[in-house]
Amino acid sequence: MSENIFSKVPELAYIEEALPCNMEEFKKVVISRRSVRVFTDEQIPDAVVEECLSLALLAPNSSNLQPWEFYWVKSEDKLKKLKTLCLNQPAARTAPTLIACVARPDRWSLGQKVNLAYFDKRPDTPKAVRAYYEKLVPFVYGNGPLNLFSPFKTLAISILGLFRVVPRGPFGHWGNLLWATKTTALACENLMLAFRAAGYDSCPMEGFDEVRVKKLLGLPRGASVTMIISAGKRASNGVYAERIRGAQDLFIKKV
């Protein structure tokens, strides 16, 4: 595969102008987003949840393969069970809305098909782009039955890396899981900011019994629950303390 797909700017007729944005309004959304652990009984209108989920799906994702799923739990019975599986913590117990955000590294081929179907409608798609999805994507994300191809791919890339700059993954089950989890987490942030912009609040939760959650939702072995997001209207005691952050120079390095 030629490296032109990574280093060369393609010749495209498509032009998209950036929408004007307001930095102060964005800062208000980011700063006012807190992990809310107690919600009121007020329900979020379905239309609002649907719009927030749609915005979540606009998050950037690796190679546009979209390895995620979002389970908006509507069934009262499942909602009650899911709250229990979230250790019955207040952030889950008091929330009217729970959304399980699931990484699906096993569904890279679905994202591949989505892109190729789009290219079929666009005859101006560069050949290198189509070749990337037809040839390189299966090599990078496909590991064969029982991940048997993964060690050979890792070895091949390690040897090639001695002579040129190459991407070092993701390879194998754990590499693909990390890849899909990072992508899903980007969408989770979109979702939480969307709820805040709509006047509601949320809490990302990692405290849950994943084995039982996967069983409740009917998820296959290849899926992994990145987090469960609760959402609703903030109660007066919903935020436990002021936000605590270390000095910026502990985390921001200028090199």
- What pLDDT digit, counting tens, does each position of 107-139 carry? 999 999 999 999 999 988 989 999 999 999 999
* pLDDT at 123 (0 to 100): 87
Would the pLDDT of 13 be above 90?
no
Q: Is the peptide bond before 170 cis (omega within 30 degrees of 0)?
A: yes
Mean pLDDT of 192-201: 98
The confidence band for 3, taking pLDDT boundaries of 50, 70 and 90, is low
Spell out the residues 6+ positions from residue 237 whose beta carbon is closer than 8 angstroms to its own: 38
Would the pLDDT of 80 be above 80?
yes
For residues 204 and 191, what is the distance between their CA atoms, to the nearest angstrom? 10
* pLDDT at 11 (0 to 100): 78
* pLDDT at 202 (0 to 100): 98
Would the pLDDT of 5 be above 80?
no
Spell out the residues 6+ positions from residue 171 whose beta carbon is closer than 8 angstroms to its own: 140, 143, 150, 153, 154, 157
Nearest to 230 by CA among 96, 78, 98: 98
For residues 199 and 44, what is the distance between their CA atoms, to the nearest angstrom? 10
Mean pLDDT of 45-71: 97
* pLDDT at 1 (0 to 100): 46
Q: What rounded mean pLDDT belongs to the chain?
A: 94
Mean pLDDT of 163-167: 90
For residues 39 and 94, what is the distance between their CA atoms, to the nearest angstrom? 5
- What pLDDT digit, counting tens, does each position of 143-155 carry? 888 778 888 888 9
Would the pLDDT of 2 be above 90?
no
Q: Determine the length of the chain.
A: 255
Mean pLDDT of 153-161: 89
Higher pLDDT, 54 or 148: 54
Q: For domain 33-108+172-235, which CATH number applies: 3.40.50.720, 1.20.120.640, 3.30.750.24, 3.40.109.10? A: 3.40.109.10
% of the chain exceeding 90 in pLDDT = 82
* pLDDT at 4 (0 to 100): 63
The confidence band for 10, taking pLDDT boundaries of 50, 70 and 90, is confident
Tokens describing residue 108? 């890279």
Nearest to 29 by CA among 200, 183, 186, 188: 200
Strand-pair category, 224-232 with 201-205: antiparallel
Mean pLDDT of 178-192: 98
Q: Measure CA 25 to chain center.
A: 24
